[in-house]
Structure 1
Amino acid sequence: MSLEPEDFPLVTDKSQELLNEKQVVDYEAHRIEFVRWLIHLGKNPELAEGYGRDTIRATAYRTDQFARQVWTEQEGGYTVAFTHAHADAYMTELLYSDNSATHKANTQKALKRLFKWRTHEKGDKEWEPERTFSNTNNDAGPREFLTIEERKRIREAALEYGSIPSYNSIPVTERDSWKAHLAQRFGKPKSEVTAEDWNRANSWKFTSMTWASLDCGLRPIEVERAKVSWVDVENSVLRIPKEDSAKNEGNWVVALSDRTADALGRWIDERERYEKYDDTDALWLTREGNPYQTQSLRRLLKKLCGIAGIATENRRMSWYALRHSTGTAMTHERDLAAAKAQLRHKSEQTTMKYDNAPVEHRRDALERMG
């Protein structure tokens, strides 16, 4: 999937409110040039390697926030000639803010990309920040995480989520209330609820989506882009082509358990009955016919946690929790090489964060070591 600058936030509404018409034109040209560089060269200019969609989007938003602060609090007006002094002042203000360490570290990374672009394309000197911000959680491994036991409970919850009893198992006196439930769920009059709606309520969609993500560590963007053509049920693998992969880094063959392959096969057979899939190869769509994205997946996971009895208070929980748990489990069960291949990492350094044995595993090792 090719990326274009227009796919990302160039001139946000907040920035447009601060600028006159000609400034908007100039700022947009500046942003197009910067984002195009991020797409094609930003990660490694020497190898013509760009960043992935999510990184570019986050960078675009954070550098736009930086620009607005420069205009309103430092320069007192519009400029795109951003300087190291601008960046240092911005990071100093952020230091004393209530923002998280993660936000501060990610903002600094975004500004480093901005000045890396200015170094390569404008001849500016490289920016060396006065202070370094780091995400203190990184050394402790992934922040969003499921244990092996929790993974099993999520897998079981995905069998239960959205399901209802079979029609024949429900007493006649209770069928009317179940019809009312289905009418509300599918947005139709109770009198129009059919046997097909009953089968649809026990769909394999959520099961297949959750199980595939548990097996393959699917990123939200990969759930969004997933296609029927990826699925090889016979060989129990997903075949993700380079143009659909999250970071456009190569073609990937990712292992599936036989249970997951079976669930995907059942869902592919089922999806043929739904009109909204007639003109698309999309593997999963929402009830409204849209691809699943970060927020809808977060809501789904929280519902699955509720069914599974997994507490989410004081705990970050997004779809990445499934991915991180896959990396850690695969590292413990096999090795870093297996985790690297399953998670589709280009660099072993990225996979290293999953090589943190839980304290109980280390304690058992000490007992065995004597």
Structure 2
Amino acid sequence: MGENPLTIEDIPIVNEPTRAQLNDRQLVDYEEYKASLVRWLLRCGKDPEKVEGYAWSTVRQVAQKADKFYRWVWDDHEGYTTKVGADDAERYITSLLYDENEYSAGHMASTQKCLQRLFKWRRHELGETGEWDPDHTFTQSLSQPRDYLTVEERKQIREAALEYGSIPAYTGLTPVERDEWKTHLAQRFGKPKAEIGPDDWDRANGWKIPSLVWTSLDTGLRPIEVGRATIEWVDVENGVLRIPKDESSKNRENWIVGVTDRTATALERWLNERAHYDPYHSSDALWLTREGNPYTSHSLIYVLERLCEIAEIPTENRQMSWYTIRHSVGTYMTREEDLAAAQTQLRHKSPKTTMRYDQTPVEDRRDALNRMG
């Protein structure tokens, strides 16, 4: 027989530095809070649907790093609390980046994963709707942002959005071809083939994806912001998005970010079009997936992968995610304007975060080498 598996009793729920920072009543409350976290991680944290937990060593690491995070939160908030948001996690990670200890990329990556597991528990067990999509990645140099699209790739993605999901014109098809496309659209829209008509052709060639992609290319929307976006954000007449502080992923202040005339036109067309679709009749969401759900990081990665296929943009050895679009905005806004403009457009609270984009894009350096001979 194998030895007995380690249990919650084998994991220090609250470490000594944390105990020293709390009074008796706060400690009782925090111990109960942490014990719930540890139990959930052990039992089903890895895959709640399959009731599969994390390894003991992983849970122990989360418990330790959560304590350090909360001690920072209490100092930052000037008082005890267990309620934290994505902004707290982002500012904590940024504080570690500039810490005199100069933590390694491995340490930073581990801390980030542990905090994401904490937020995963809060979402599943405490009913919170928020999630944390970190601004930083630590598989490369700490001073570098994630991979980004070049200027040419941004143009290709913008054009690919017009081709995404499109089908041939209804009137230009033979009866046999039209029947084949009806079968495709019936599967795509989840409705009987007999009910497919010209309106479904218009929907397939609609403005949802172009408006979503172009808005992200202009404003660098985070995945969580794409999911939270509502029709009230859109001000077509003035060519801006007005993101209220209660909906911004950083949740600090209202943001007004500009969009191009082309994007404003796409948004106007989409606003007129979306009113005809059932999923939007009971929702003010600006964009919903085909299943009628808000977009997530996973569903947006699928969209970006399809766009790259259409545009024939190579993705091998690149870290492609929706943040690839966001980081291209920061990189080129910094080059074309300045850090202040990039900070506002990307909705960064701290200029230190924006400073990661204060670098010369690779194509500019290549041009310089050609001129140098």
Alignment TM-score, normalising by the size of structure 2:
0.68
Residue pairs, 1:211-226, within 5 angstroms:
211-226=214-229
Q: CA deviation at 1:138?
A: 3.7
Q: Is residue 52–residue 246 contact of structure 1 (8 Å, CA) maintained in 2? A: no
Query: How many Å separate the matches in 1 of 2:209 and 2:75?
Result: 35
Give the equivalent residue in structure 1 for 2:245.
242
The residue identity in structure 2 corresponding to 1:352 is: M
Q: CA deviation at 1:42?
A: 5.5
Q: 2:298 aligns with which of 295, 298, 316?
A: 295
More divergent stretch after superposition (181-190 vs 283-292): 181-190
Q: 1:16 aligns with which of 32, 39, 43?
A: 43
Query: How many Å separate the matches in 2 of 1:164 and 1:111?
Result: 44
Residue pairs, 1:33-182, within 5 angstroms:
41=73, 44-46=76-78, 52-53=85-86, 56=89, 104-108=107-111, 135=138, 137-139=140-142, 141-182=144-185
Q: CA deviation at 1:189?
A: 2.5
Q: Is residue 43–residue 51 contact of structure 1 (8 Å, CA) maintained in 2? A: no
More divergent stretch after superposition (173-182 vs 206-215): 173-182
Give the equivalent residue in structure 2 for 1:231.
234
Q: 2:338 aligns with which of 325, 335, 343?
A: 335
Give the equivalent residue in structure 1 for 2:307.
304
Q: CA deviation at 1:271?
A: 0.8
Structure 1: where are the runs of 5+ without partners?
1-5, 19-26, 60-94, 96-100, 114-133
Q: Number of paired residues?
A: 290
Give the equivalent residue in structure 2 for 1:84.
none
- Pick closer, same or farther for the CA change 1:172–1:261 going to 2, 3 Å: same
Residue pairs, 1:269-288, within 5 angstroms:
269-288=272-291
Partner SS state of residue 225, structure 2: helix
Query: How many Å separate the matches in 1 of 2:202 and 2:113?
Result: 48
Q: Is residue 241–residue 258 contact of structure 2 (8 Å, CA) maintained in 1? A: yes
Q: Is residue 233–residue 264 contact of structure 1 (8 Å, CA) maintained in 2? A: yes
Q: Is residue 219–residue 320 contact of structure 1 (8 Å, CA) maintained in 2? A: yes
- Pick closer, same or farther for the CA change 1:43–1:260 going to 2, 3 Å: farther
Q: 1:262 aligns with which of 265, 268, 276?
A: 265
Give the equivalent residue in structure 2 for 1:85.
none
Partner SS state of residue 256, structure 2: strand
- Pick closer, same or farther for the CA change 1:244–1:42 going to 2, 3 Å: farther
Q: Deviations over 1:31-57 (max 9, x none)?
A: 9xx79x96x946822499986438759
Query: How many Å separate the matches in 1 of 2:347 and 2:287?
Result: 21
More divergent stretch after superposition (173-182 vs 233-242): 173-182
Partner SS state of residue 254, structure 1: strand
Q: Is residue 42–residue 51 contact of structure 1 (8 Å, CA) maintained in 2? A: no
Query: How many Å separate the matches in 2 of 1:176 and 1:12?
Result: 55
Query: How many Å separate the matches in 2 of 1:174 and 1:329?
Result: 44
Q: Deviations over 1:282-306 (max 9, x none)?
A: 1111122111001011111111111
Q: CA deviation at 1:313?
A: 1.7
RMSD, matched Cα: 3.8
Query: How many Å separate the matches in 1 of 2:325 and 2:186?
Result: 32
Give the equivalent residue in structure 2 for 1:22.
none
Query: How many Å separate the matches in 1 of 2:289 and 2:324?
Result: 21
Q: Is residue 162–residue 210 contact of structure 2 (8 Å, CA) maintained in 1? A: yes
Give the equivalent residue in structure 1 for 2:322.
319
Q: CA deviation at 1:198?
A: 1.4
Alignment TM-score, normalising by the size of structure 1:
0.69
More divergent stretch after superposition (225-234 vs 310-319): 310-319
The residue identity in structure 1 corresponding to 2:42 is: S
Q: Deviations over 1:283-338 (max 9, x none)?
A: 11112211100101111111111101011122111100000000001111111111
Q: Is residue 336–residue 351 contact of structure 1 (8 Å, CA) maintained in 2? A: yes
The residue identity in structure 2 corresponding to 1:53 is: A
Q: Is residue 73–residue 88 contact of structure 2 (8 Å, CA) maintained in 1? A: no
